[in-house]
């Protein structure tokens, strides 16, 4: 009930603010009802067209988002699958371009020129060695420079 009263109140305020427009609309209704009907149909079809376009755009947007989500899930699944050695392949920051490029032996593919040849394993691969470096860096300033000196101020009475 409040909805209908709000509509009636807003129509009353419109008539108060625009009396000449309301008289013109009333005159057109009495003198040319077919014209008013044509204008009303145009406004109705225009509003319905806008609503239909909004729905279509919303559906296209949802379809595009879901297809993009499926594509990203597929790419993530492909990129983080395990290879034959049980190692994860990892994330590829170049996306689809480098995937095809890597399969042909490009950057990051791990293949060298002549990759068809048998590669030998380095016997030291995976071995970690620790080497001790100098424990103290040599000082650039002499040892007697920069010592802390404690002093106390005294007043002279003269």
Higher-confidence residue: 39 or 1? 39
Percent of the chain residues topping a pLDDT of 90: 33
Count Cβ atoms within 10 A of the Cβ of residue 142 and give its class: 0-12 exposed, 13-18 middle, 19 or more buried. Answer: exposed
Backbone φ and ψ of 88, nearest 5° = -80, 140
Higher-confidence residue: 2 or 143? 2
Q: Quick: pLDDT tens for 102-151.
A: 454 445 545 454 444 455 677 777 788 878 776 777 667 666 676 666 77
Band of the pLDDT at 84, cuts 50, 70, 90?
Answer: low
Convert the chain into a string of H (helix), E (strand) and C (coil): CHHHHHHHHHHHHHHHHCHHHHHHHHHHHHHCHHHHHHHHHHHHHHHHHHHHHHHHHHHHHHHHHHHHHHHHHHHHHHHCCECCCCCECCCCCCCHHHHHHHHCCCCCCCCCCCCCCCCCCCCCCCCCCCCCCCCCCCCCCCCCCCCCCCCCCCCCCC
Which tokens go with 37? Answer: 């009907």
Backbone φ and ψ of 80, nearest 5° = -105, 15
Q: What is the pTM of this model?
A: 0.38
Higher-confidence residue: 10 or 94? 10
Residue 67, CB half-sphere, CA atoms under 13 Å: how many?
A: 6
How far, CA to CA in Å, does 119 sit from each of 87, 112, 155? 19, 10, 85
Rounded to an integer, what distance in angstroms lies between the CA atom of residue 144 and that of residue 94?
Answer: 58
Rounded to an integer, what distance in angstroms lies between the CA atom of residue 126 and that of residue 118?
Answer: 20
């Amino acid at each position: 009930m409040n909805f209908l009263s709000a509509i009636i109140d807003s129509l009353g305020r419109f008539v108060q603010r625009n009396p000449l427009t309301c008289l013109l609309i009333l005159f057109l209704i009495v003198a040319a009802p077919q014209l008013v009907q044509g204008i009303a149909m145009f406004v109705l079809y225009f509003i319905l067209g806008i609503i239909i376009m909004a729905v279509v755009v919303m559906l296209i947007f949802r379809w595009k988002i879901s297809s993009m989500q499926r594509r990203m899930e597929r790419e993530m699944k492909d990129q983080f699958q395990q290879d034959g050695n049980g190692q994860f392949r990892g994330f590829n920051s170049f996306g689809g371009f480098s995937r095809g490029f890597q399969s042909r032996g490009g950057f990051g593919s791990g293949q060298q020129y002549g990759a068809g040849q048998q590669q030998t394993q380095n016997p030291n691969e995976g071995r970690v060695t620790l080497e001790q470096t100098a424990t103290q860096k040599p000082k650039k300033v002499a040892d007697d420079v920069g010592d802390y000196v404690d002093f106390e101020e005294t007043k002279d009475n003269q």
